[in-house]
Structure formats: structure tokens, C-alpha cells
A and B are shown apart, each in its own frame.
Chain A
Amino acid sequence: MNALKQELKENIIEQLNLEEFTVEDIDNDDALFGDGLGLDSIDALELIVMLDKDYGIKLTDPEKSKEIFQSINVLAEYITEHRTK
């Protein structure tokens, strides 16, 4: 699980060009959207593709994905439970 969380942080930073952040800056409980990392709806769509590409998870409703993208902890749990690759 910890390796997955580390991987997620690295990928999110890279995929979303979060140049001002390092892996250490992101706490597992930090809000990814809004006040935390400051991600927005376009980032959510990027993350949906990341889930599909890296873990074989297909999300169809961008609204619903907001719950999954709450924090690294929530995201990692969801991936562990639903991943197909």
C-alpha cells in the first residue's frame, strides 16, 4: 500500500505538472482538490485516464470520481480494491 501511495504521488506530480510540489509535500490525508493541492475538474479527467491506463479501472461519471479523488489514502484504497492490472 505504501509503495502504491508513493507511486500515485509521483504520477500525479508528473502527470499534472505540479512543479512546485515534491512527493514529501503531499500528505496521505491532504485534500487533492480545493484547498489542498488545488486540483480542478480538468485534473479530475486526467486522473480518470490515469486510473484506466495504469490500473485498468474505468470510471464513467466524472462527478462520482470526486469521492475517489479525496486524498491519496482514499484513492489508494479504491485502487487496491478495484484494480484489474
Chain B
Amino acid sequence: MKTCYIHSVVSISAQDSFSENDTIFEVREYSDYKISAVHPPYRDFIPLSQLRRMSPAVKMGVAASKKALEKGNVEQPDAIITGSGLGCMADTETFLNTLLENDEQFSTPTAFIQSTHNTVAGQIALGLKCKAYNTTYAHGSVSFESALVDAQLQIEAGEAKNILVGGVDELGTEFMDYVHLVEQKQMQPIQVSLSEGATFCVLSSEKKEGAVAVLKAVEIRSKIAEENIITEMHDFLKTNKVKPSEIDAVVLGNNGDAFDVYYENLQQQLFPETDCLQYKKYVGEFFTASGFAFWMGAQLIEGYTLPKNFFIRKAESKPYKTVLLYNQFKGSQHSFVLLTQC
């Protein structure tokens, strides 16, 4: 079975993660219930003639994919695999509003054809003239991880050499307000902003110079009972022949809601001494937010120093060789991702 190397990871988020520096030096603080990504100047990445129709999700996806391919030194990937929980929300809202407000008259096709979840992957393929395998996952908080599972499967089986993988979600204009409205009625609602972003990476079966890390394992579980999370994580690590004490950092998806107990249990019982990090406080919650954790994990292994705000717990400075990512949403859609040094 072949090893799955990560050749590049880039992320557009509510932080300056997509800047020239390739890392974040200072954290932007937010208090709004809804925050936009820090959008790069898209004209630098996408021709104007194409840009005119693109929604933020497509712009983020296309720009991030270009940079990921460039950093990974890949011109034509052997597969393009994306994940998006809500798909192209902005165009969905536009088409829906036109339809409802004009009583099904005067609907125009542009917003409709761009409202589908696979718009981003389709546009990337079109831009690259890439006829390879192309697919899109749309399963809530494991949309990005579903793409990782598919890519890893192809690389391990030797079906593809270089794969472009990405996760992207956009805020849109109104749906997130409704999500917020309902969330506020919960006993212990999500405490972080709702947001958007895109993380893209190049995975490869080749260990090239400049490879960032190894994607050792990725697993998805639809449901895990609260009392079983320790055992499940234990089993996952055991399957991959890693002891909990060998994990140098755990990146957790805390968002402040009642289900944070999953993270707290892991932190206290399985990783009492390990460095723990969080990110949704700074990049917000959205279905593919865990892509940012993937970016963070790669940063840690590459040796970048992330701002201390991200750390829930930090021991003395040390190299990070093995990083675990764990995320869930409302007690469902759990994902375990294990990254190691090359």
C-alpha cells in the first residue's frame, strides 16, 4: 500500500492564512455572529471574463486550488475531489428568491447552473482542462474528510499519483441568519461566529522534496455515543499503531455548544498532557471549517509557530511529528485525521 504524502495545503479563512507569508502571525479577533473570509484579490488568480459569474465559493475554491497546485508543483492532477456542506449557497439564494418573488417567471439560468454542489470542482476542471476523475462530497461536517477518504483510497491503491483535494463553503446572504436564529434557541448554542472558507491541498503517492506531511489515516463515523468517544479514538489510534502518548498535538473543533463535551472528554482522559489547539473561535463554524484544522496540522508539522491564541494547552516548544485532528457536529459526523512527519 502506498503512502499518502501531502505536498501543499492552503487555506482561505477569516484569518490571514492565505497571505504571502504562508502562515499567521497575528490573530484577528471577531465578535459578530457572522464573519466573512479574508478574501484575496481574486483578479490575481482568475481571468476577469470568468470571474464575472463566480460566487464567493467558486472564487475561493478556484483561487485556493491554483495556489495549492502551484505550491505542490502539479500542473494536471489525476483527480479533483472537493467537499462542500452547503454547496453554492449564494447562487442558491439568488435563484430561489428570484423564483419566489416573481412567481416562477423570469428565472435566469446563471444562478441555477452555479447553485449545484459540484460547481467548484467543475470550474476547477474547466479552468485546467482537466478530464480526470472529478467528484464532490456534500455531507455536512465530514464533506472535506469524505474527499480525503476518496483521495487516500486512490493513492493507496495506486490509481492516482497527484490529487487535488479541497473543502469550501460560503456564507451567502440569508440562510446563515436562519441557521443562527434556530441555533440561538438551543440551551447551549454555538458560541463562535458562523463563517466561510476554503482549504485545498495536493496529495501524492510520491515523496517529493518539500513534501509537507503524511496523511496517515482518515476515518469518518456517522454516530458515536458520548460515552464511547474515548474507546473509539483509542481503537482508531491502535489500528494505526500510534499510542496516545505519541501524539504531539490534537487539533479540536470546539465551537462552544453542548457537544464540546466530546472534545473535553478526549482532552482530559486520553490526552491529559498533550498540546491541544482550537480554531473555530477564530475562523468560525461552517461545514468545511475542519479543513482549516488540516491546514493547522500541516503548519505544525512543517515547523511554523502558530499564534498562542490557538492553543488550549501548550507545553514547552517542541517539534510536532504526529498531529491528530478531531471534529464533530452536534454529536454526529465525527472525523479522525492523523498527520505525521514525512
- Residues of chain A touching chain B, judged by Cβ–Cβ distance below 8 Å, are 15-20, 38, 42, 45-46, 49, 52-53
Q: Which residue of chain A has its CB nearest to the CB of B107?
A: A49
How far is A16 from B111 in the complex, measured between Cα atoms in Å? Answer: 11
- Residues of chain B touching chain A, judged by Cβ–Cβ distance below 8 Å, are 48-49, 51-53, 105-110, 113
Q: A17-B52, A46-B109 are in contact. List 19 more A-B contacts (CB 8 A).
A: A15-B108, A16-B52, A17-B53, A18-B52, A19-B48, A20-B48, A20-B49, A38-B49, A42-B53, A42-B113, A45-B109, A46-B108, A46-B110, A49-B106, A49-B107, A49-B108, A52-B106, A53-B105, A53-B106
A29 CB to nearest B CB, Å: 21
Among B48, B107, B113: residue with most chain A CB under 10 A: B48
Residues of A within 8 A of B105 (CB): 53
Can you show 11 pairs from A to B with CB atoms below 8 A apart?
Answer: A18-B52, A19-B51, A20-B49, A38-B49, A42-B53, A42-B109, A42-B110, A42-B113, A45-B108, A46-B110, A49-B108
Residues of B within 8 A of A19 (CB): 48, 51-52
Residues of A within 8 A of B113 (CB): 42
Residues of A within 8 A of B49 (CB): 20, 38
Residues of A within 8 A of B110 (CB): 42, 46
Q: Which residue of chain B has its CB nearest to the CB of A53?
A: B106
How far is A20 from B47 in the complex, measured between Cα atoms in Å? Answer: 11
The 4 closest A-B pairs by CB, nearest first: A17-B52, A53-B106, A49-B108, A45-B109
How far is A19 from B105 in the complex, measured between Cα atoms in Å? Answer: 26
Residues of A within 8 A of B106 (CB): 49, 52-53
How far is A53 from B108 in the complex, measured between Cα atoms in Å? Answer: 11
Q: Which residue of chain A has its CB nearest to the CB of B48?
A: A20
Residues of A within 8 A of B109 (CB): 42, 45-46
Residues of B within 8 A of A15 (CB): 108
Q: Which residue of chain B has its CB nearest to the CB of A52?
A: B106
How far is A65 from B109 in the complex, measured between Cα atoms in Å? Answer: 16
Residues of B within 8 A of A18 (CB): 52
How far is A39 from B132 in the complex, measured between Cα atoms in Å? Answer: 28
How far is A49 from B99 in the complex, measured between Cα atoms in Å? Answer: 13
Residues of B within 8 A of A49 (CB): 106-108
